[in-house]
Amino acid sequence: MSSLNTNLAKLAKCDPSKRIDLREPILAHGVDAVTPLAGLAAETPDLGPSVVAWLEVLANRDEAARAPVAAALRGLLVNPREDTRRHATEALARLGSPVSAAQARRAAAARA
């Protein structure tokens, strides 16, 4: 876990052009990376689009990660950045877990 935490700390400070270098070391932790990644996106909103993409990659690689990833993506629907919310909504649809109108309304209310 310490290497996961170390890599997440690096990601938080990383130049956007270097983020991709951390994807595989973080995703190598599988489902254990889901909650910390989503938390990092909540704390550092500009990481949101990258985190959404990485979580989707993980869900497509590892069936066991699909449900935790879907839950994490639903949590990102309240992210302050519109692009993160949009990417999360689109990723959920691609993963076969689309956002219902009621879920979208609850997420919008939570942001307000």
pLDDT tens for the chain, 112 residues long, are 689 999 999 999 999 999 999 999 999 999 999 999 999 999 998 999 999 999 999 999 999 999 999 999 999 999 999 999 999 999 999 999 988 888 878 888 887 7
Q: How far is 51 from 58, CA to CA, in rounded Å?
A: 10
pLDDT of residue 81: 92
Dihedral angle at the C-alpha atoms of 103, 46, 25, 21, nearest 10 degrees?
A: 140
User: Model's pTM, two decimal places?
Assistant: 0.90
- Residue 1 has what pLDDT? 63
Per-residue model confidence (pLDDT) at position 103? 82
Task: Round to whole Å and give the CA distance between 19 and 112.
Answer: 30
Q: Quick one: pLDDT at residue 102?
A: 82
